[in-house]
Amino acid sequence: MPDNEIVLEMSHISKNFPGVLALDDVSISLHKGEILGLLGENGAGKSTLIKILSGAYSLEKGKIIIDGIEHKFSGPHESLSAGIRVIYQELTSFEPLTVLENIFAGEVVTNKAGFVSWRKMAAEAKKMLANLGSDINPFTLMENLNVAGKQVVEIAKAIHGNVKILVMDEPTSALDEKDVNILYSVIRKLRDQGVAIIYISHRMEEIFQITDRVIVLRDGKKVGDSKTSDTNKSDLVNLIVGRELSEQYPKRDIKKGKVIFEVKNLSYLNKVKNVSLSLCEGEIVAFFGLLGAGTHQLFSILFGDKKATSGEIYVEGKKLKISSPNIAKKNGLGYIPIDRKEEGIAIVMDIKQNITSSNIEQIGNGFILNRKIEKEHAYKWFNVLNIKAPSIDTMASSLSGGNQQKVVVAKWLEKNSKILLMNEPTRGIDVGSKAEIYLIAEDLCEKGVGVLMVSSELPEIMAISDRVIVMRDGGIVGEFVTKETSQEELMHIASA
């Protein structure tokens, strides 16, 4: 399908963030009417690349050439006027407004008298949607559409006007199979109209179904670039993951102790259904599930952030009602949330204040805060976890993601938690820090801590967990000893 006309060339792009080289001399090209798959793990540099293309990040090193003209975007509006559109994973539609209003957000079509002409706009919107093969009524409220419908409207909105390059960031992550097919036909239609498409996805099957060419990023570098038909799934997986994580971090054989944490028939509305599990001292149990499987909700409940509608929780054999994080903490639980910046770390405070934040009551006698003790405690974990910063007085905001995450971990080491809940502990952090987080988890296990982990990265689960529990639609659909299963099996069960 692709003819030879090159629409976009990004050459020798590098981007530095404090402590991380997010992109390292990456070059990509894109042809007219081509669907390019962009692959890579979380933190491989995909979103950084896209944000540079969309003008959200400034270009520091390298060139962007569109239709032969070099561009230097100083903001998203310049990227827009160069014909680039990005549809992000989290849709940005205005829910309480109509489809029509969403498509024409920011501009209106007027009649001769200068009034808004709803009739003209509706006709045009209908035409645009029909072009995409959709019969959505333009006057439907956005919030009444399903995710696929919203996607279609987002696409209509994005391609409205002069569009040369459309970037789609994991467009199918919340879609079921039928809706995925609708989306595919829309994407193919666009391609046939000459739009160049960059398609980001984690799902291997999709890449082979929809893309013409694939580029793989790993740790900020381009490690693969070939026609989709010239490659196969296992080659791609190897390129994405690099060496098998389990080869890099051989799992230590840690002796398991007694059961310290048990959950029986836990439910929460219809999001979590009848979940039971148990965790031993020194054990790492991983939860795996696709988006909406209920793993995140489950962890929120276990730490008392949400209240279970039914079920029982036992800590070291004692039945508990965990109705707040305070109670969870007092009973030896620690929680590393998925959203580090919003829930894990207070970025306007410094490292030592963050580390001691879960343990303020122990820093000094009575109601006095003893700063000397605070410094000693913080300094200890600062060294143990090898946090890379000038000092413990450094503000959390100036740390890299990996070091921020170490601070969050340190918080619960400081509290001496016996049961650690880690929700996507390595999301958005560099490979080096990931490895360190794994080592920390294993060190903790050796000291008798039990770790529950949610992860969407299968290589990570395979590398460090003892057991894997797979969830789908809020319920447990499979439980495996990690050594006796495979990534393929887990993915199959999670998505069946």
Q: How far apart are CA 482 and CA 464, in angstroms?
A: 9
Rule CB under 8 A: choose which of 212, 350, 457, 466 binds other proteins.
Answer: 350
Rule CB under 8 A: choose which of 4, 177, 250, 368 binds other proteins.
Answer: 368
| Tokens 């029509």 found at | 100
Residues in 234-263 that interact with other proteins by CB under 8 A = none
> By C-beta, is 148 or 387 nearer to other proteins?
387
* Distance of alpha carbon 138 from the chain centroid: 32
Could you tell me the smallest distance in angstroms from the CB atom of residue 22 to other proteins?
14
The answer to whether residue 382 forms part of the interface with other proteins (CB under 8 A) is: no
Could you tell me the smallest distance in angstroms from the CB atom of residue 178 to other proteins?
37
Which residues, at least 6 apart from 27, have a Cβ–Cβ distance to it below 8 Å?
Answer: 9, 10, 11, 12, 13, 62, 222
- The answer to whether the beta carbons of residues 438 and 58 sit under 8 Å apart is no
Rule CB under 8 A: choose which of 120, 255, 330, 492 binds other proteins.
Answer: 330
Could you tell me the smallest distance in angstroms from the CB atom of residue 217 to other proteins?
24
> By C-beta, is 278 or 398 nearer to other proteins?
398
The answer to whether residue 305 forms part of the interface with other proteins (CB under 8 A) is: yes
The answer to whether residue 140 forms part of the interface with other proteins (CB under 8 A) is: no
- The answer to whether the beta carbons of residues 334 and 322 sit under 8 Å apart is no
The answer to whether residue 348 forms part of the interface with other proteins (CB under 8 A) is: yes
The answer to whether residue 472 forms part of the interface with other proteins (CB under 8 A) is: no
- The answer to whether the beta carbons of residues 41 and 217 sit under 8 Å apart is no
Could you tell me the smallest distance in angstroms from the CB atom of residue 74 to other proteins?
13
H or E, element range at 66: strand 61-66
Could you tell me the smallest distance in angstroms from the CB atom of residue 38 to other proteins?
27
> By C-beta, is 310 or 326 nearer to other proteins?
326
> What torsion do the CA atoms of 99, 103, 106, 107 make, to the nearest 10 degrees?
-110
- The answer to whether the beta carbons of residues 166 and 195 sit under 8 Å apart is yes
Applying CB under 8 A, the site for other proteins has a residue count of 39
Burial 76-92 (b: 16+ CB within 10 A, else e): eeebbebbbbbbbeeee
Could you tell me the smallest distance in angstroms from the CB atom of residue 369 to other proteins?
5
> By C-beta, is 54 or 403 nearer to other proteins?
403
Burial of 97 (0-12, 13-18, 19+ CB in 10 A): middle
The answer to whether residue 328 forms part of the interface with other proteins (CB under 8 A) is: yes
Contact set with other proteins (CB under 8 A): 18-19, 303, 305, 324-326, 328-330, 335, 337, 342-350, 353, 357-358, 360-361, 363-364, 367-369, 389-391, 393-395, 398, 411
